[in-house]
Homo-oligomer: A and B are copies of this chain.
């Protein structure tokens, strides 16, 4: 593999304190914290970092990826990892750093993304999970929710499951490789969603839709209509952000 000064990082964050990933004037964001940490290590030439995609306020990451062009040829990937973990607040951590070819791009080269959404089923949400799980104590029809997952999997126009409204000329077809419900522990359901890409708020709208199916508020024929008549004005409900983790981003080999 051709090695350049381009670095690819795998990072995790607790989204609670941040107004999402992306730099915005006057806002505390994950991107601004990382760029500030790099700037402290590279006086005079601080690069912009590029993530695989944005995450919203309150959404967490276990495996976000980002690239940047290292202004420090003396820093090996291991050095970047240690130096940044030394600089960053503990709610952002670098899990891994690697050199990648100069043409690599964290967003454009992403093959698949995986999100996980954690749903607490108990009557009371344990305090230590309050920022990381969404509580839904009402009875859920899991077999019906699993049928809904099956309907949603595959290639579809997911416009009905996007929060974007307006001109509608953006390409809204995506392939949902996986959408499945797992019993994470006795009190917790976890929704796994893997796609070649997700529209704005799509995972939270899929989670919100599946919960409505499970609660008997939306039936499979209505769900089928949302898929067959994709339109952005649909009143699909988003599940809250705190249950959501960007779990993994996959690139073509040889990048791990």
Contacts and interface: CB of A to CB of B under 8 A. Distances in A.
Interface of A: 12-14, 60, 62, 85, 90-95, 124-128, 130-132, 245
A12 B62 contact: no
List the 7 closest pairs (A to B, CB-CB), nearest first: A14-B127, A91-B127, A90-B130, A93-B124, A95-B124, A14-B128, A12-B127
Contact of A125 (B60, B93, B132): B93
A103 to B, nearest CB: 28
A128 B132 CA distance: 8
> At the interface, is chain A mostly helix, strand, loop or mixed?
mixed
Nearest to A17: B127
Contacts of A92: 127
Contacts of A12: 124, 126-128
Nearest to A93: B124
Contacts of A131: 128
How many copies of this protein are present in the complex?
2
B94 A127 contact: no
A93 B14 contact: no
B124 A94 contact: yes
Contacts of A14: 127-128, 130
B85 A127 contact: no
B60 A13 contact: no
Given A12-B128, A85-B124, 14 more contacts: A12-B127, A14-B127, A14-B128, A60-B127, A60-B128, A62-B126, A91-B130, A93-B124, A93-B126, A93-B127, A94-B124, A95-B124, A128-B131, A128-B245
27 contacts: A12-B124, A12-B126, A12-B127, A12-B128, A13-B127, A14-B127, A14-B128, A14-B130, A60-B127, A60-B128, A62-B126, A85-B124, A90-B125, A90-B127, A90-B130, A91-B127, A91-B130, A92-B127, A93-B124, A93-B125, A93-B126, A93-B127, A94-B124, A95-B124, A128-B131, A128-B132, A128-B245
Contacts of A245: 128
Nearest to A245: B128
